[in-house]
């Protein structure tokens, strides 16, 4: 029989493991690490299999699979989005992911991705803003102060130098939570009663709301020239945050057009409306922001390659840490052709006796 490494024991990163990694390294440092992996993968964008996520929609939410491969590794994420969950004391988004070897098909990592998705979403927002936001931007408005808000703030602080935050949410308790969580991290924070007041003086506007509806969080008259808009909340059919007139005034950057045209802000526009692909900017194929009065819009919906990058980062991070669990996930009979025999012999050996 050919010799092979023991691949039936798969590293499993639980929620507890993930929290330990993030708190040990630091949230900002973890975001910076994920950013480096996203840049590596976006710069070899054309080597990846790409498809819009496979989505199962219902009246109350969506469940999705997000697969991709670079020819050496295959990854996918299972993720849901159920805005109504918050009222029931549940998370709006939960997720897990798998990374596998293409050469054998064997999984090499199984990980929680609820926390990891929050980190990679914020990372991608700030990474795009590094190329698209006004030079030397210091102030960001965050409209929507829920579960993603603190990660967004820390990512923009680490990757873009943002140190002033304007906060607004229709739920004041969300804003109080956000302000409290960020109070010790070196931000100058102001809270506002209206979104119109909150965006004044901000060079970057982040919208991150959860309601599954065609909402108008920003209207055209609220957006002046020269700002960068980081639109995070519009991420499925029938869920938007910006008035369409804003889109017509903006240079729109997206991850993967076939997916964003279904799920992003640009679902409000025709199929022929021009958009720019952010990977081309990160790969230095085309420029990002080119003028001080330009309105740039990152129509963020999240794409599988970003999750692939985050899983790669965690896999490599585990090489220096033994604080993770292992799952006996893959059947590994002595004779690969005799799976039946393995099952039968396990009973004879008393493996399942009480």
Catalytic residue ranges: 235
**Secondary element (H or E) of residue 174:** helix 172-182
SS3 323: coil
Other CB atoms within a 10 A radius of the CB of residue 90 amount to 10
Whether the CB-CB separation of 2 and 336 falls below 8 Å is answered with no
DSSP assignment letter at 256: -
Whether the CB-CB separation of 32 and 56 falls below 8 Å is answered with no
Instruction: Give 296's strand partners.
Output: 228, 251
Please state, in angstroms and rounded to a whole number, the distance separating the CA atoms of residues 303 and 260.
9
SS3 243: coil
Closest CA to 301 of 249, 351, 252: 252
DSSP assignment letter at 225: T
Q: Which residues contact 80 (CB under 8 A, 6 or more apart)?
A: 61, 62, 63, 64, 93, 94, 95
Please state, in angstroms and rounded to a whole number, the distance separating the CA atoms of residues 263 and 261.
6
Closest CA to 219 of 193, 238, 194, 183: 194
Other CB atoms within a 10 A radius of the CB of residue 292 amount to 9
Please state, in angstroms and rounded to a whole number, the distance separating the CA atoms of residues 92 and 82.
5
Residues shown for the chain = 354
Q: Cα angle vertex 34, ends 315, 77, to 5°?
A: 60
């Amino acid at each position: 029989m050919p010799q092979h490494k023991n691949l039936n024991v798969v590293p499993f990163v639980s929620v507890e493991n993930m929290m330990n990694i993030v708190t040990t390294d630091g949230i900002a440092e973890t975001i910076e690490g994920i950013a480096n992996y996203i840049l590596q993968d976006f710069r070899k964008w054309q080597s990846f299999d790409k498809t819009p996520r496979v989505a199962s929609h219902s009246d109350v939410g969506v469940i999705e699979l997000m697969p991709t491969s670079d020819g050496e590794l295959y990854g996918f994420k299972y993720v849901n989005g159920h805005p109504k969950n918050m009222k029931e004391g549940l998370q709006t988004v939960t997720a897990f992911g798998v990374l596998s070897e293409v050469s054998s098909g064997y999984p090499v990592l199984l990980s929680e991705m609820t926390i990891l998705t929050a980190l990679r979403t914020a990372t991608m927002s700030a990474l795009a803003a590094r190329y698209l936001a006004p030079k030397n931007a210091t102030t960001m408005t965050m409209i929507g102060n829920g579960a993603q808000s603190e990660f967004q703030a820390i990512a923009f602080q680490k990757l873009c130098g943002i140190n002033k935050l304007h906060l607004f949410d229709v739920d004041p308790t969300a804003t109080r939570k956000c302000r409290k969580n960020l109070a010790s991290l070196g931000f100058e924070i102001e809270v506002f009663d209206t979104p119109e007041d909150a965006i004044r003086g901000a060079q970057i506007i982040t919208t991150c709301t959860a309601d599954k509806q065609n909402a108008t969080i920003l209207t055209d008259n609220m957006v002046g020239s020269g700002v960068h808009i980081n639109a995070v909340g519009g991420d499925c059919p029938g869920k938007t945050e910006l008035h369409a007139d804003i889109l017509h005034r903006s240079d729109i950057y997206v991850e993967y057009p076939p997916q964003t045209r279904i799920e992003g802000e640009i679902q409000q526009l025709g199929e022929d409306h021009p958009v720019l692909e952010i990977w081309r900017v990160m790969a230095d194929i085309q420029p990002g922001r080119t003028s001080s009065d330009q309105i740039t819009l990152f129509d963020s919906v999240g794409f599988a390659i970003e999750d692939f990058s985050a899983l790669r980062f965690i896999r490599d991070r585990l090489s220096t840490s033994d604080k993770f669990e292992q799952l006996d996930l893959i059947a590994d009979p002595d004779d690969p052709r005799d799976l039946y025999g393995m099952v039968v012999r396990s009973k004879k050996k008393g493996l399942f006796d009480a």
